[in-house]
Amino acid sequence: MKRIAIFPGSFDPITIGHQSIVLRSLPLFDEVIIAIGDNTQKKCMFPIEKRKQWIEKTFEGIEKVKVDVYNMLTVDYCKQKNAKYIIRGLRNSIDFQYEQNIALINTEICPEIETIFLLTEPQYTSINSSFIREIMNFGGDVKRFLPENIRMDF
Ligand code: ADP
C-alpha cells in the first residue's frame, strides 16, 4: 500500500523552514500532500491561490509532492486522501506543546492516523511565516527566508 502523508498548514507564505521539512520527509513516504487549510477563522496575508502557486513552484519537478487546499477536519481530509500520516515540524518547546495537544486530539478522533514530528534543522529554528509577514509590512527584505524558486516574487 502507498504510504501517503499530509503536511497541513497555512503556508502564509511557505518558508525555507517548511521546504526543509518536506524535503526531509520524502524518503519516508511514497507521496507527500502539502495541504493548505482554507480556514475562514484565520486571517491570512496572501490569497490561497497565490500560496498554492508558491508551494507548487518550490517543489516543481518533484513527483512525490502534491499540493492541495482543504476545508474540513485534517483527519477527515487524511481519510479522503487515504493518508495514514500527518507531518508536523517542531522548532521549540512552544511548538511541541501546541502540536502535542492537536496530535492527541487527532489520535482520539482517528487512532489509525499517526502524527510524525520532524525537528527543524537548527538554522531554521527562528523562521516562521508570521515573522516574515511582519518584516514585509515594514518594507524589509525577506528573500533569504523563502525558497529560491519563489524569491523573484518578493
Ligand atoms: P499552521 O497555521 O498550521 O501553524 P504553518 O504554515 O505556520 O501552519 O506551519 C505548518 C507546519 O510547518 C507546522 O507543523 C509548523 O510547526 C511547521 N513549521 C513552520 N515553520 C517551520 C520551521 N522554520 N522549521 C520547521 N517547521 C516549521
42 tagged catalytic: yes
pTM: 0.97
pLDDT of residue 92: 96
pLDDT band at 85 (very low <50, low <70, confident <90, very high): very high
3-state secondary structure of 4: strand
* pLDDT recorded at residue 31: 98
CA 63 to ligand 1 center in whole angstroms: 22
Q: Does the active-site annotation cover 91?
A: yes
CA of 104 to the centre of ligand 1 (A): 18
Report the share of the chain in percent with pLDDT over 90. Answer: 97
* Cα distances (Å, whole numbers) of residue 147 to 69, 78, 97, 153: 20, 26, 27, 11
Q: Is the CB of 128 under 6 A from ligand 1?
A: yes
Q: Is 98 left (phi over 0), alpha (psi -120 to 50) or beta?
A: alpha
**Which DSSP string corresponds to 59-117?**
TTT-TTEEEEEE-S-HHHHHHHHT--EEEEEE-SHHHHHHHHHHHHHHHHH-TTPEEEE
From the candidates 42, 43, 93, 144, give the one annotated as an active-site residue. Answer: 42
Average pLDDT over residues 137-149: 97
Expressed in angstroms and rounded, the spacing between residue 112 Cα and the centre of ligand 1 is 23
- Which amino acid is located at 149 in the chain? N
2 carries an active-site annotation: no
Average pLDDT, the chain: 97
Question: Ligand 1 pocket, 89 CB below 6 A?
Answer: yes
Q: Is 88 in the pocket of ligand 1 (CB under 6 A)?
A: yes
pLDDT of 150 reads 98
User: What letter would DSSP give residue 139?
Assistant: T
Domains and CATH numbers, the chain: 4-147 (3.40.50.620)
- 15-42 pLDDT per residue, tens: 999 999 999 999 999 999 999 999 878 8
The whole-number pLDDT of residue 39 equals 82
Whether residue 33 contacts residue 64, with contact meaning beta carbons closer than 8 Å, is answered with no
Asked if residue 64 has pLDDT above 80, the reply is yes
